[in-house]
Amino acid sequence: MSTITGNALKSGQPPIIPLTFSANQPKTIRLYPLSNYTFGVKEMQPEEDPSVVARLRRLEEHYTEHGMRRTCEGILVCHEHNHPHILMLQIANAFFKLPGDYLRPEDDEVEGFKTRLDERLAPVGKLGENEAPGDWEIGECLAQWWRPNFETFMYPFIPAHVTRPKECKKLYFIQLPNSKILSVPKNMKLLAVPLFELYENTARYGPQLSAIPHLLSRYNFEFYDEEGNIVAATPGGATNGDMPQTKVLASGDDADTDMNSGENGAN
């Protein structure tokens, strides 16, 4: 931090430094560059349901037998050009979603969630020799979305007339280490989407994903380079002038590469 402030004070018009403004602030989050991570492709994971109607029917069957369905998804953050990017899946070139899925009825919440993250993103075979199963740092629950009925709509609150919601989806912050190997099923794409692309972009990403910038606004960030040095921090910090944009990190033969044809990610 001192290096960054020192560089700023060398400018022609040094900034006025206000008193500290970090009372009751959550811990500062370290973000590592996208280039620190290795991305691969593994066997495809076909969707369980061929249609929205089939998915809702399966939800109804689950509710009848096990009660409210529990779903966990992860917000994994890295940076490119000192701007936060969210790692996100694009499935069948049709919709976007965060890594994770519904828990099995017998699963512990956190351990079951780690298993689901492994299924989506853990490498297999020789690529993952140094990766331990369930090696995820599950952070704070940043949001809860509720499905009041057997329909597609979810809300960040329980409507007043609803006493038995059919599903609760939790969004957890996942602290990424300084390096990691990730593999995506070959019928999906793994994207790095900048926060500004998500912000208020409900038409493309749906209400859950477009709300992520709001959820992360409570944190301050430190941006690290490949050598482990802080190159920028909240607030301030210079960039090299390149414009951040969504990047396809991994994509199998069965996943189309057109970034503009995805529909919104509410599901």
Q: What angle do CA 141, 93, 157 make, to 5 degrees?
A: 30
The pLDDT tens digits for 41-88 are: 999 988 888 888 999 999 999 999 999 999 999 999 999 999 999 999
The pLDDT tens digits for 86-108 are: 999 998 777 899 999 999 999 99
Backbone angles phi, psi at 213, to 5 degrees: -55, -35
> Which pLDDT does position 78 carry in this prediction?
97
Q: Say which residues have a Cβ less than 8 Å from residue 263's Cβ, sequence separation at least 6.
A: 94, 95, 204
Q: Is 8 helix (H, G, I), strand (E, B) or coil?
A: helix
Q: Say which residues have a Cβ less than 8 Å from residue 182's Cβ, sequence separation at least 6.
A: 37, 38, 39, 40, 87, 121, 122, 123, 190, 249, 250
* The amino acid at 65: E
Candidates 97, 69, 53, 62; CA nearest to 167 is 69
Candidates 211, 56, 213; CA nearest to 145 is 211
Domain ranges of the chain: 37-251
CA pseudo-torsion sign 89, 91, 96, 100: negative
In angstroms, the CA 166 to CA 147 distance is 6
Q: What angle do CA 4, 5, 9 make, to 5 degrees?
A: 120
What pTM does this model have? 0.85
Question: What is the mean predicted confidence (pLDDT) over 14-22?
Answer: 83
> Which pLDDT does position 49 carry in this prediction?
84
Cα separations in angstroms, 250 against 7, 80, 256: 37, 16, 11
pLDDT at 238 over 80: no
Share of the chain above pLDDT 90, in %: 68
* The amino acid at 120: R
pLDDT at 143 over 50: yes
In angstroms, the CA 178 to CA 255 distance is 28
pLDDT at 254 over 70: no
Question: What is the mean predicted confidence (pLDDT) over 176-187?
Answer: 94
221-224 and 137-147 strand pairing: unpaired
pLDDT at 232 over 70: yes
Q: Is 212 helix (H, G, I), strand (E, B) or coil?
A: helix
* Residue 33 DSSP symbol: B
> Which pLDDT does position 266 carry in this prediction?
52
Q: Name the pLDDT band for 191 (thresholds 50, 70, 90).
A: very high
The pLDDT tens digits for 106-137 are: 999 999 999 999 999 999 865 556 667 889 99
pLDDT at 236 over 50: no
> Which pLDDT does position 129 carry in this prediction?
61
> Which pLDDT does position 15 carry in this prediction?
79
In angstroms, the CA 207 to CA 35 distance is 29
> Which pLDDT does position 19 carry in this prediction?
85
pLDDT at 203 over 70: yes
In angstroms, the CA 60 to CA 53 distance is 11
Residue appearing with tokens 């399966």: 58
What CATH superfamily is the domain 37-251?
Answer: Nucleoside Triphosphate Pyrophosphohydrolase (3.90.79.10)
Q: Name the pLDDT band for 148 (thresholds 50, 70, 90).
A: very high
> Which pLDDT does position 46 carry in this prediction?
85
